[in-house]
Amino acid sequence: MSPLDAFALAAAAALLLTMPLYALVSRGRPRDPEVAARPTTVLLGHWVRDWLMWVIAPLERALVRARVSPLVFNLAGVGLGAAAGVAYAQGAPAAGGWLVLLGGAADVFDGRIARARGMISPAGAFLDSTLDRFAEAFAFAGMAMFYAGSPLRILAVALALGGSLLVSYTRARGEGLGVSFRGGLMQRAERLVLLALASLLDPVAVTALHWAAGSLLVLAVAFIALASTATAAFRTVAIARALDQAERRARPGPGAPRRRLRRGRGAS
């Protein structure tokens, strides 16, 4: 285990030690409104999300008081994604995992600061979602370089990236057609957490089980590939059904009068 990986693991352990403290202070505490509004999954429940919001709350308040622009965190997320890709390519998965987590935190700060400062806008929403895809692409590209000697592992990375982009695309395309759907197991937060945990634990597994470097990480990547592709397929079916039902409701009934389509001279 490299010194960088050891430092990353120690930092992760220090972060996890705040969980018991939060369990004590959170009794009777109301749930964060934004967390309560989001659907839960098997991997991420309300308690874990609330804990994260509690951890970052002091920094969030300081950033709002300092009037830091949400765009700073959009760009920071891309930079951290690129740095994670470099870490993976250099064979430092634990460091890559921390950079993935920090990139996810930057994404959280972006949205919460924008809402706190009343800076929500279509342009901001577009930049947020689009730059997130850049960050993911850079991180997975670094992983592909890490696994350059194994075609099967590169295939797992490619499928994980493709599935991740499809999850986001199906939601965006559905919303563009008037159907908002966020369901599915492997959404972005779940992908980030799973990828980061596997990255942080990979050096431990390699040392304890005498596996090849990246073995635990590639198992997580393969799971992300399968689960994100399934999530995209689930969303595709659900959104298509919702659109079909909306179209059926909009059609006139059997007894309703039909309007004739009038064609002009130049109609084709």
DSSP at 27: T
Architecture in CATH of 3-250: Up-down Bundle (1.20)
Residue 113 has what pLDDT?
Answer: 93
CA atoms within 13 A on the CB side of 224: 33
> Residue 114's pLDDT is what?
92
Q: Where are the domains of the chain?
A: 3-250
pLDDT score of 165 = 95
Q: Is 38 helix (H, G, I), strand (E, B) or coil?
A: coil
What percent of the chain is helix, strand and coil (3-state, nearest 5)? 75, 0, 25
Element (H, E) at 228: helix 215-250
> What pLDDT was estimated at residue 258?
52
Q: Of the candidates 11, 3, 19, 12, which has an alpha carbon nearest to the alpha carbon of residue 193?
A: 12
Tens digits of residue pLDDT in 163-204: 999 999 999 999 999 988 877 778 888 999 999 999 999 988
- Global pTM exceeds 0.75: yes
Active site residues: 132
Sign of CA dihedral 98, 103, 107, 109: positive
Nearest to 194 by CA among 239, 224, 150: 224
| Backbone torsion region of residue 178, taken as left when φ is above 0, otherwise alpha when ψ lies between -120 and 50, otherwise beta | left
Instruction: Say if residue 165 is exposed, middle or buried (CB neighbours under 10 Å; 0-12, 13-18, 19+).
Output: middle
Q: pLDDT tens string for the chain (268 positions)? A: 777 778 877 888 888 889 999 998 888 788 888 877 777 776 778 888 899 899 999 999 999 999 999 999 999 999 999 999 999 999 999 999 999 999 999 999 999 999 999 999 999 889 999 999 999 999 999 999 999 989 999 999 999 999 999 999 999 999 999 988 877 778 888 999 999 999 999 988 888 888 988 999 999 999 999 999 999 999 999 999 999 998 888 877 665 555 454 444 443 3
> What's the pLDDT tens digit per position in 3-15?
777 887 788 888 8
Phi-psi region of 2 (alpha: psi -120 to 50; beta: other; left: phi over 0): beta
